[in-house]
Chain A
Amino acid sequence: MSQPPASLDQVLERPETEVLVRARGLTKKFGGFTAVDGIDFDLYRGEAFGFLGPNGAGKSSTMRMIGCVSPPTSGELSILGRDPVRDGSAIRARLGVVPQEDTLDVELTVRENLLVYGRYFGLPRRVIRERTAALLEFVQLADRAGDKVDPLSGGLKRRLTIARSLINEPEILILDEPTTGLDPQARHVVWDRLFRLKQRGVTLILTTHYMDEAEQLCDRLVVMDHGRFAAAGSPRDLIARYCSPEVLELRFDPALHDTAADKLKDFSAERIEVLADRILLYVPDGDAALTAVRASGLEPLTSLVRRGTLEDVFLRLTGRRLED
């Protein structure tokens, strides 16, 4: 095991466990476009590791390379100690993949989907039957086992995809935007199940562009932008490092937005971010800052004091918002 990259280790104590995925200078190009631009990371057994970033940041390309379905253009990548290009089939036998878009067979029943998938892994019927019962119980779909997939809601399909990805009892579960497109309640169910998997020792690798998802699930994460890591650390570390404790969000009459922004720049905020519709002041104490703003004669239409989040970290690091 060689030294993990400095960017990760500066802020983190390196867990004394086995490295499952190791990348050095990992690069993926599509023609002239560089999707992943020489990234370095180590993923350890049992952790939940997140790739956070906007669409097009290189998250999915990284996931596909780890999933052994996309050969790296250059750099080193080893998964479970093996080479994904040469040993892809053997590695994939030990991975579970929840792709961004469901690939369920909607013509088949819930149970048949697990049967087909279990067969891909060469599992005997009896084993598939036993695991199917347990997995459908786990994702709370046991009562729908005989139903066709087509009419199931997005949240149920996602849970079925997760159950299917676990049929081979994978050591690493790769989730590409596991809750994109789900309603808040369905997302919480998925998070709860993923958390339980992590408790059972399954290593989770996930991409997301939801900061709350990253905060809920990830032990460590990297913020990705333009194929590179803009920052790395635990959610709490990143917020502490790149964001003030509190954020004051102000919204002014659009006619006054620009003049207010100019005036606020003289304020003693740690940082000010002028968005199209709002102005964000990064301050140690939000209420005190709001009082000061009002005292200076500015009257916002609405105001909100909140804690700093990963969204703010991302804005600070990239100048862009996550869900753009």
Chain B
Amino acid sequence: MAAASLALPSGTRPWSLSVRAFRCWLTVYRRIWRSSIWSSVLGPVCYMGALGFGLGTLVDRHSTASLGGVSYLAFVAPAILASGAMNTAMGEASYPVFGSIKWNRIYIGAQASPLRPADIFRGHLLFMVMRLAMNCAFVVLVMWAFGAVRSAWVVLAYPAAVLTGLAFAAPVAAWAVTVKVETSFTYVFRFGLMPLMLFSGTFFPLSQLPAGLRALAYVTPLWHGVALCRAFSLGTAASDPVGMLGHVAYLAALAAAGIWAGARTYRRRLYV
């Protein structure tokens, strides 16, 4: 690996190659950004309307002690932020990565240029981070507009959500590039994403689950993302700084593992 990085065209910095790949995605995105913005805004509005107001009215009539004494809307909104980041990450890191080899073949075209597989990966990942940053910003705004924010600490819920997304995007992209048939994604969405979405303390506190399931939920990345976003949004983070650091470390480790693995899986897939 060390040898490979010596071999750039003269005057080229390693990171500039990733930026070149990123700019390609920007050019492509310029064509479709309008439609993508609509789904980014409508999704969280629907969720927060249905869950926060619809279900929330029902929940709030009973005791909300197990929610930490806040309204159901305030409880569920940061979870919608975190799981929304997960969904954006999965959407951007699955079919688009697969399609860049099989359908529009963006990777294959880029491969013939000075870009190395790791540059192609990092450039695409940068674009995914940009999409995460956009979508999470919308959700935070919607949360605020719905009155679901309880603390100014919410400004940290924003990067926490982007990190949650990256913890999914990097490993999923690293895997997606190796996928040979697209039905693999259907399984991941159905048997991976769905349970994560339901059992990560998103819609109800984990204390409602039996102990065995609870232990399982603690190791899922989404739970860490939800816990982090919720603590910032409700302003309870300061009471458990070690726990917060733990969540950040867990998510950062996943992201780092994905970034490490992606450089290798992309290389193996593209340099046959």
Contacts and interface: CB of A to CB of B under 8 A. Distances in A.
Interface string A82-100: 0000111110110101010
B20 A119 contact: yes
Interface stretch (B9-17, B138-146, B147-155): B9-17
Given A99-B108, A119-B20, A122-B12, A92 B28 contact: no
B104 A89 contact: no
Contacts of A64: 272
B58 interface: no
**Number of chain B interface residues as a range:** 20 to 34
A97 B9 contact: no
B4 A119 contact: no
A165 B111 CA distance: 12
Contacts of B20: 119-120, 122
B9 A93 contact: yes
Given A108-B31, A115-B27, A103 B272 contact: no
B110 interface: yes
Given A87-B7, A93-B9, A103 B105 contact: yes
A120 B115 contact: yes
Contacts of A168: 113
Contacts of A115: 27
Interface string B107-122: 0111111111000000
A228 to B, nearest CB: 21
A320 to B, nearest CB: 26
Contacts of A107: 28, 31, 104
A70 interface: yes
Interface string B200-221: 0000000000000000000000
B83 to A, nearest CB: 30
B251 interface: no
Nearest to A91: B7
Contacts of A88: 4, 7, 116
Contacts of B179: none
Interface residues of A, number: 33
B271 A70 contact: yes
Nearest to B17: A89
Interface string B95-137: 0000000001110111111111000000000000000000000
A106 B103 CA distance: 10
Nearest to A90: B9
B162 to A, nearest CB: 25
B96 to A, nearest CB: 12
Interface in A57-96: 64, 67, 69-71, 86-90, 92-93, 95
Nearest to A67: B112
B193 to A, nearest CB: 27
A323 interface: no
A264 interface: no
**Max chain B Cβ within 10 angstroms of own Cβ: one of A70, A116, A165:** A116
Contacts of A105: 28, 104, 106, 109
Nearest to B9: A93
B21 interface: yes
B109 A117 contact: yes
A119 B23 contact: yes
Nearest to A30: B272
B7 A90 contact: yes
Contact of A116 (B9, B24, B105): B24
Which 3 pairs across A and B sit closest by C-beta, in order of nearness? A120-B113, A103-B109, A97-B112
Interface of A: 30, 64, 67, 69-71, 86-90, 92-93, 95, 97, 99, 101, 103-108, 112, 115-117, 119-122, 165, 168
Given A97-B112, A122-B9, 8 more contacts: A88-B7, A89-B17, A89-B116, A104-B109, A105-B109, A108-B28, A108-B31, A165-B112
8 contacts: A86-B4, A89-B7, A90-B9, A93-B9, A105-B28, A116-B27, A120-B113, A121-B113
